[in-house]
Structure 1
Amino acid sequence: MTKILRYRLKPEIALDEQRFEEFVKGKVGEGAQWKLFKRSIDARSKCVQVNVEIALSENGEDPRPFAYQKPDNHVENKPAVIIVGAGPAGLFAALRCIELGAKPVILERGKDVQARRRDLAAINKEHKVNPDSNYCFGEGGAGTYSDGKLYTRSKKRGDVTRILEILVAHGSNENILVETHPHIGTNKLPKVIADIRETILSRGGEMHFDTRVEDFVIKEGELRGVKTQDGATWEGIGVILATGHSARDIFYLLDKSGVKIESKPFALGLRVEHPQQIIDQIQYHCDNRGEYLPAAAYALATQTHFEEVKRGVFSFCMCPGGFIVPAATADGEVVVNGMSPSRRDSKFANSGIVVAIENEDLEAYAEEGEFRALAFQSEVEKNACAIAGGTQTAPAQRLVDFVHGKVSNSLPDCSYQPGLASVNMRDFLPESIYERLKFGFKNFGRKSKGYLTNEAQVLGVESRTSSPVHVPRDRDTLEHVEIKRLYPCGEGAGYAGGIMSAAIDGEKCAEKLIEAYLKI
């Protein structure tokens, strides 16, 4: 049996490994078996505390047992499941296929996680975007080089602990099992992804990089396989489509192939960057957070009215101690995203601040049909690129200047490597987006004294928050509503919002596909 003990401790005790161990031993005894079970920082009052839970064994058993074990079966001669995309949805679908006795064959348009680095460097230094290998495309998906946060707001999605344990089994620090907001870090996640690949390959699965899907093999209402750019055809008992939120060519291919898709609400705005010290002062109520507290994060949200229409403005993918990175997937567009290394030791804090976009907001794009949200998203990205000079230089403005509609005479230091161009954001942002963001920043400044400052700046455009296209599937079977053997999956199909939820969805799709078709 395991007993849970709860304590509220000062950061210098809870977050110092040696002092924390001494504290626990003083409470439970020198020879007791215990493990840290949960840990969270409570900064609601001026005196920051850390809530900890200790799992104490009362019968000599492991107080926090590790349930997951890597699969030991081999599937090289088993029926194949075609998985399009090697992001978290695709990788975790592949692992689950192996466990259930099917052979995963992953087709990834981008490069392996190590080779991607050269293409990321080319974006930052040379402003050259490889449309198949960038911050969005390649092994591990968008999360690999844009933060690696492991948050999910809904426990109903599935077994969160299982996903975390799989990551630990493949090299992640065990701290992700206990932290309220677990985070691997952009510098550590690539090694974990490579280890997952090794598990898949060593058990008989296949992974093919630089392999872009360009057509579907549909026969009598069933998706029997896909065709790639080299003319090869890949067939299996079914296809898990896990291509991510930026694979626009796949959305157009689905439509061309007669596969039902739908326009989907998403969110669009800017990314704001503050000196990390300002966010620390706001969140921790002190001038200096000291050596124990981590870089502070925040979550902000408000409701706005523009032309009598109510929409939310909220923070998205907040990255304490992080960097802003270029997330475009083609030349001629500027997209920004955020990331944090594992130590979160950058002097900057950044977050997307975005406005909810509903289908009824897109009447001007009605002729685009189910691509109206995508067309709107693309147009704003291209306008942001054009106003900043046509490269990966990002349009930028000091935060107070943005609120006042004033071009900044100078811009502060910034973590965004390709460089900045000082512009008036309202010259390329749609009026409704600009006015809602302006209201939102004012509101956040009232809520958090010091947030609305010209020491901060906004960069554009934060537009890849989620997929602008939804690929409908049956609620129970997870199969496409019209095309059999097609399992739309993860963020690209509109069923996930990050690494954790995408991984869980990948597992579920693999389970349903195998349940339905492995015996056929």
Structure 2
Amino acid sequence: MLRLTEIKLPLEHAKDIAHTPSEIKAAIFKKLGIAEEELVRFEIFKRGVDARKSHAILFVYTLDIEVKNEAKVLAKFKRDPHVKPAPDIGYHFVAQAPLNISKRPVVIGFGPAGIFAALILAQSGFKPIVLERGKEVRERTKDTWGLWRKSVLNPESNVQFGEGGAGTFSDGKLYSQIKDPKHYGRKVLNEFVKAGAPEEILYVSHPHIGTFRLVGMVEQMRNTITALGGEIRFQSRVDDIEVENNQVQGVVLANGERIETNHLVLAVGHSARDTFEMIHKRGIYIEAKPFSIGFRIEHPQSLIDHARYGQNAANPILGAADYKLVHHAQNGRSVYSFCMCPGGTVVAAASEEGRVVTNGMSQYSRNERNANAGIVVGISPEQDYPGDPLAGMALQRHWESQAYKLGGSNYKAPGQLIGDFIAAKPSTEFGSVQPSYTPGVHLTDLSTVLPEYAITAIREALPAFGKQIKGFDLPDGVLTGVETRTSSPIRIKRNDDDLQSVNTRGLYPTGEGAGYAGGILSAAVDGIKIAEALAIDMASKS
């Protein structure tokens, strides 16, 4: 197989799906100078969009092709970086379970990292036990709607806790900037397709699924794990990890049940604050890490489409436009867009009573009227919350409590129009942009809901972003507070070689909660890495 990169075709070629393969073939023939009969087959590995010139948008393809005389073609293009042998992207298992396992591996948490750790272990014959504090995904969805529609929060079943993890109620983005030399990301995408995701996620440059599809996929992956001998227990919060001589011995559940294990995957997500407190008390090494805080911002999706695609705005082939922005403020802070959700909604993402947290979500169609994104400021333990590994978590709680009070102490979120925020005056009524957050938005002055340095940096950044995307500083646009769960405030540090905790043998921290991932794909990939390390260790000790 050969891999061709940077094959560019005009936007119009995709209007007629039936003729698209013919146009791609024509591009292959032109690039390689081969006759039609020399091409055996091709498949699209990746398709991106080059929208730098809105009047001449291009699709950019990476293709894997099979030709009759591969060696001859490679020799002809040996100096061309865009014609190379295709890499092996298949997944290869590293260990199989021995027959005499006395203590099964345990996975705490069933978000992306936990799901893929459990899946790889199950596929390798290790029959893991999964402990998830929340409910199965459909019951969890009902509880989540309870907050959104009735202002009733269930601290154990919400946007953060339950089957599928926080990514279930998100845009379902499946792309990442992580280094992935072993192509674990491809394994993740292939498993998602098996579970019901559209095949296009295998090749589009910014694949996403959306919440409704994720629900069914998560259920299917659960069924796969149990069919392979895995066991998944919901509403099973782990209240203690037993450690003796720096070795994991087991876990204790909230109901008092004890499960023995010497191999424990900790995949609890970035909001398991009581778990962080428990492991810190247990002496398991953790450290504070940087994260970001800010607001959600909403614009009409049509404004973003026009700014990004110009005359091609609203073209169904392109779909809803997204963006990625960064600004380095004069006070030394970096402000950037985070988790942009085209055609989506701002959602209530609190997991603790008396606190307000925002996040973004969209469905596969991305056809809601507003675009939203986090506009956040980077903070660090050295500068902003020194001294205690849990100080970042305390900072999050403080500002989330402040947002709850400022919103009216009823889970409404405090909000402000962009123009008023820049002008430093309270908002009193909405303009042309209606916020999507439920239970609702209470207009106020957001200057007291984040630290002064964050307010100053965001005020400076919004007009600067307006120069990059025309209309981004739209006076009627809406800011909603607060966005504090951008990533985990701690890192459960692990060894580079065996991926176990630096001071607790048998403990495998993984995913966002451990501080080693950010998003669905990177967390799932990290879960695979952890499962492999655990499988190798268990197989070697059998």
Q: TM-score normalised by the shorter chain: which range applies?
A: over 0.9
Match runs of 1:330-349 below 5 Å: 330-349=352-371
Q: Which amino acid aligns with 2:333?
A: R
For the pair 1:428 / 2:428, whether they are aligned, the reply is: no
Give the one of 31, 34, 46 matched to 2:42. Answer: 34
Q: Which residue, 208, 214, 217 being the options, matches 1:192?
A: 217
| CA contact 2:247–2:262 (8 Å) conserved in 1 | no
Give the distance between the partners of 2:242 and 2:462, measured in 1 at CA.
49
> How far apart, in 1, do the equivalents of 2:97 and 2:139 lie?
28
Question: Amino acid of the residue matched to residue 381 of structure 1?
Answer: E
What's the offset of the Cα at 1:450? Answer: 1.3
Distance 1:60 1:246 in 2: 54
- Which secondary structure does the structure 2 equivalent of 1:444 belong to? helix
- Contact 1:40–1:50 under 8 Å retained in 2: yes
Cα distance change of structure 1 residues 360 and 70 upon mapping to structure 2, 3 Å threshold: closer
Contact 2:248 2:261 in 1 (8 A): no
- Secondary structure in 1 matching 2:371: strand
| Aligned pairs for 1:334-413 within 5 A | 334-362=356-384, 366=387, 369-411=388-430, 412-413=433-434
- Residue in 2 that maps onto 1:122: 146
Go from structure 1 to structure 2 and tell me whether the alpha carbon gap of 1:289 and 1:106 turns closer, same or farther (over 3 Å shift).
Answer: same
Q: Which position in structure 1 is the counterpart of 2:83?
A: none
For residue 444 of structure 1, the aligned residue among 465, 480, 486 is 465
Q: Shift of residue 112 of structure 1?
A: 0.9
* Counterparts of 1:114 and 1:133, CA distance in 2: 11
1:89 aligns with 2:140: no
- Kindly state the Cα deviation for residue 158 of structure 1 after the two structures are TM-superposed: 4.9
Whether the 8 Å CA contact 1:165–1:177 is kept in 2: the answer is yes
Deviations 1:326-373 (A, max 9, x none): 11002211101011211111111110010001113325x75xx22111
Q: In the superposition, relative to structure 1, how do residues 408 and 19 fare at CA in structure 2: closer, same or farther (>3 Å)?
A: farther
User: Offset at 1:55?
Assistant: 3.2
**Structure 2 SS opposite 1:313:** strand
How has the CA–CA distance of structure 1 residues 235 and 346 changed in structure 2, closer, same or farther, with 3 Å as cutoff?
A: same
Once structures 1 and 2 are overlaid, which stretch shifts more, 424-433 or 1-10?
1-10
Q: Kindly provide the amino acid, as one letter, of the partner of residue 475 in structure 2.
A: N
Shift of 1:376: 0.7
How far off its partner does 1:129 sit?
1.1
> For 1:169, which of 183, 189, 194 is the aligned residue?
194
What code does the residue aligned with 1:84 have? I
Kindly report the root-mean-square deviation, in angstroms, between the aligned alpha carbons of the 2 structures. 2.5
> Does 2:317 correspond to 1:292?
yes
**Bigger CA drift: 75-84 or 177-186?**
75-84
Distance of 1:481 and 1:5 partners within structure 2:
41
AA of the residue aligned to 2:143: D
Q: How does 1:255-294 map to 2 (within 5 A)?
A: 255-286=280-311, 288-294=313-319
Pair 1:105-2:129 in alignment = yes
Q: Which residue in 2 is equivalent to 1:138? A: 162
**Match of 1:408, as an amino acid?**
S
- Does residue 313 (structure 1) correspond to residue 335 (structure 2)? The answer is yes
Q: After superposing the two structures, state which structure 1 stretch, 468-477 or 150-159, moved more.
A: 150-159
Specify every segment of 5 or more residues in structure 1 that has no aligned partner in the other structure, as ranges: none
Q: Please point out which of 50, 53, 61 is paired with 1:52.
A: 61
Spell out, residue by residue over 1:48-97, the C-alpha distance to the aligned partner (whole angstroms, 9 max, x if none).
22112343332599x999845999x9999844111000011111111111
The answer to whether the Cα contact below 8 Å between 2:168 and 2:214 also exists between their aligned partners in 1 is yes
Contact 2:449–2:482 (8 Å) recurs in 1: no
Describe the SS at the equivalent of 2:236. Answer: coil
1: CA distance, partners of 2:437 / 2:292: 22
User: What number of residue pairs does the alignment pair up?
Assistant: 512
- Distance in 2 separating the partners of 1:506 and 1:397: 39
Structure 1 window deviating more from structure 2 (185-194 vs 282-291): it is 282-291
How far apart, CA to CA, are the structure 2 residues paired with 1:76 and 1:299?
A: 50
Whether the 8 Å CA contact 1:120–1:134 is kept in 2: the answer is yes
Given residue 323 of structure 2, which amino acid in structure 1 is its aligned partner? Y
Shift of the alpha carbon at 1:287?
7.4
Distance 1:60 1:34, change over 3 A: farther
- TM-aligned CA distance change 1:183 to 1:512, over 3 Å: same
Q: Does 1:222 align with 2:247?
A: yes
**Does the C-alpha gap of structure 1 residues 55 and 201 become closer, same or farther in structure 2, counting only changes over 3 Å?**
same
- Runs of 4 or more consecutive aligned structure 1 residues displaced over 6 Å after TM superposition: 63-66, 73-77
- Residues 171-220 of structure 1 deviation map (CA, whole Å, 9 limit, x = unaligned): 21111111111111212111111111011000100000010011111122
- Taking a change above 3 Å as real, the CA distance of residues 506 and 113 of structure 1, as seen in their structure-2 partners, is same
C-alpha separation in 2, matches of 1:75 and 1:138: 31
DSSP-derived class of the 1:249 partner: helix
Cα distance in 1 for partners of 2:464, 2:334 equals 12
> Which residue type is aligned with residue 153 of structure 2?
V
Q: Describe the shift of the 1:507–1:361 C-alpha distance in structure 2 as closer, same or farther (beyond 3 A).
A: same
The answer to whether the Cα contact below 8 Å between 1:68 and 1:166 also exists between their aligned partners in 2 is no
